[in-house]
Amino acid sequence: MKLKNPPVNSLSLEMLTELVINLEKLENDKAVRGLVLTSEYPGIFSAGLDLMEMCGRNPAHYAEYWKALQEFWLKLYQSSLVVVAAINGASPAGGCLMSLICDYRILADNPKYTIGLNETLLGIVAPFWFKDTMVNTIGHRASERALQLGLLFPPAEALQVGLVDQVVPEDKLQSTALSVMAQWLAIPDHARQLTKTMMRKPTVDHLVKQRDADIQNFVSFVSRDSIQKSLQMYLQKLRQKKS
């Protein structure tokens, strides 16, 4: 599956909705057992959540957007397919989250391709289920440091901390993803799927139990004037970077 939402594959409401529909189609197709997630645009895997969905909108929109993000996370995290992320570009915040919910992550070796949950740099806070997903991957101490500092790791550091499973030359990314997929598909589906469900259930249950409260939290947090100002300033900085 190639992410395709120019210019930076930000996770807009429309993009999240399409991703969920496509995932459902693949899940229901008996001929499909695995999925490689990559970007149509080498250089950018995904810029994460679409900041335009979180700026200057009304509470009903924020609630709809957050529900769609939760839905996407729940679908992909619980997918019965083998999901391999072939990360061929920068992967901040929601882009990193998307990689973390795959079963295996391969990052192309390019110093510009940084990955991490950098929310604090925007003056916002990674919600508990982003944090849980990261802790499940790299452990508590490394997550605490990475989350507080909003660290974006270049490939060698991402590998060292365990945020990705492999770093490979850019031209070997897709072939490596296919050989990793072959290795995972050699395991009987039912045994692998039950194991995945067992490992992920507590994290899934944590969100499912608090879904509505989490939406309310997001809506009231993002509606604050101070948060709106931080997001606007961050967007301005992104735009100024060009000039």
Residues with catalytic annotation? 49, 94, 118-119
Please give the size of the binding site for ligand LH6CIYWY, defined by CB under 6 A. Answer: 29
Q: Which amino acid is at 132?
A: D
State yes or no: residue 90 binds ligand LH6CIYWY (CB under 6 A): yes
Q: Which residue of 35, 36, 44, 180 would you call a contact of ligand LH6CIYWY, by CB under 6 A?
A: 44
Q: Which amino acid is at 187?
A: I
Candidate segments 76-84, 161-169, 202-210, 217-225, binder of ligand LH6CIYWY by CB under 6 A: 217-225
Kindly state the smallest distance separating residue 179's Cβ from ligand LH6CIYWY, in Å.
Answer: 28
Q: Which residue of 193, 217, 223, 230 would you call a contact of ligand LH6CIYWY, by CB under 6 A?
A: 217
Q: Which residue of 125, 135, 142, 159 would you call a contact of ligand LH6CIYWY, by CB under 6 A?
A: 125
The answer to whether 168 touches 176, Cβ cutoff 8 Å, is yes
Length of the chain (residues): 243
State yes or no: residue 51 binds ligand LH6CIYWY (CB under 6 A): yes
Six token digits for residue 148: 């507080």
Of 115, 65, 112, the residue nearest 85 (C-alpha): 115
End-to-end Cα separation, the chain, in angstroms: 34
Kindly state the smallest distance separating residue 196's Cβ from ligand LH6CIYWY, in Å.
Answer: 25
Measure the CA–CA gap between 211 and 151, rounded to whole angstroms.
27
Measure the CA–CA gap between 90 and 212, rounded to whole angstroms.
31
User: Burial of 171 by CB count in 10 Å (0-12 exposed, 13-18 middle, 19+ buried)?
Assistant: exposed
Q: Which stretches of the chain bind ligand LH6CIYWY, using CB under 6 A?
A: 7-8, 10, 44, 47-52, 90, 92-94, 118-119, 122, 124-125, 127, 217-218, 221-222, 235, 238-239, 241-242
